[in-house]
Amino acid sequence: MTKLVAEVLEKNNLPGAIFTAMCGGAEIGEAIAKDTRIPLVSFTGSSKVGLKVQQTVSARSGKTLLELSGNNAIIVMEDADIQLAARSVLFAAVGTAGQRCTTCRRLLLHERVYDKVLEQLLTSYKQVKIGDPLEKGTLLGPLHTPESKKNFEKGIEVIKSQGGKILTGGKAIEGEGNFVEPTIIEISSDASVVKEELFAPVLYALKFKSFEEAVAINNSVPQGLSSSIFTRNPENIFKWIGPMGSDCGIVNVNIPTNGAEIGGAFGGEKATGGGREAGSDSWKQYMRRSTCTINYGNELPLAQGINFG
């Protein structure tokens, strides 16, 4: 990627080093955050690290563009297209092994469709092919690192300790590679672990009784990246996308929390950082804004009563 971009830059008489990829640990990010030659630092990662980046850059009067943690919810109302919702949840929760900032981590189901939706999902989860994601038909590949696999196992233990009931999955797969089972867990929305982001294919199933309760649960976590509702009711749709609805940066209707944001202003609120990438919002943040006033005449009638001779 670096080589391809460098060739394009050089063909346009620009230094290839404008686009540079570096591999390393926290020392590289720390150096970038502290460097006064860099007026804007765009960071993607956890809320914890993002806060440190923001504090470091702000201390030198620099600007940050943050795209941090997501704890995204899909709400399925009683009037939703169940087939459409189930397919969307599977894609959003299992795709990329749950390692996407817009991954669906919380599934809010109206009590009237709770059992029906879960039944379809449990049937679908049993059909998920786990293995090499480059092979046709494989939906679930490995986690990124051995540490990610350990975090999954630790997370499952914490979930169990807080009353979580595993409906399917919940185990790491023995053998070569960082593979884990796609997991659905029945749990209370009040459990503290639900308010944290476990970067793995773990989906929390939560039950609600009313639209207002669903919105309250959606908004109850520190993160505010993506959200989605499945409903045919126009009243609920307009409430959902309005000021009393979702408090996230991405607010979807009848599509999942991931996969449709290309070209739009991508980013979230609260602990997600408040920044926006892509779309018109992106290039504006990389520009320096100036207000310019030009006097094209020979007079400046601003100092009344003063004779300058």
Provide mean pLDDT across the span 18-29. 88
Map tokens 């991954």 to a residue: 103
CATH number assigned to the domain with residue range 72-253, chosen from the 4 options 3.60.20.10, 3.40.50.720, 3.40.309.10, 3.30.465.10: 3.40.309.10
**What would the pLDDT profile of 219-277 be if each residue is shown by its tens digit?**
999 999 999 999 999 999 999 999 999 999 999 999 999 976 677 888 999 999 988 88
With 70 as the cut, is the pLDDT of residue 204 above it? yes
Query: In sequence order, what are the beta bridge partners of 26?
Result: none
Single-letter code of the amino acid located at 285: Q
User: Which pLDDT value is given to residue 261?
Assistant: 65
Q: How far apart are CA 50 and CA 69, in angstroms?
A: 9
Active site residue 277: no
The residue from 67, 181, 197, 261 that is catalytic is: 67
**What would the pLDDT profile of 45-87 be if each residue is shown by its tens digit?**
889 999 999 999 999 999 999 999 999 999 999 999 999 999 9
**What would the pLDDT profile of 133-185 be if each residue is shown by its tens digit?**
999 999 999 999 999 999 999 999 999 999 999 999 999 999 899 999 999 99
Residue 287, φ and ψ in degrees, nearest 5: -105, 160
With 80 as the cut, is the pLDDT of residue 304 above it? no
Which tokens belong to 186?
């029945």
**pTM for the predicted model, two decimal places:** 0.89
Where are the domains positioned within the chain? 1-68+265-286, 72-253
User: Which pLDDT value is given to residue 288?
Assistant: 85
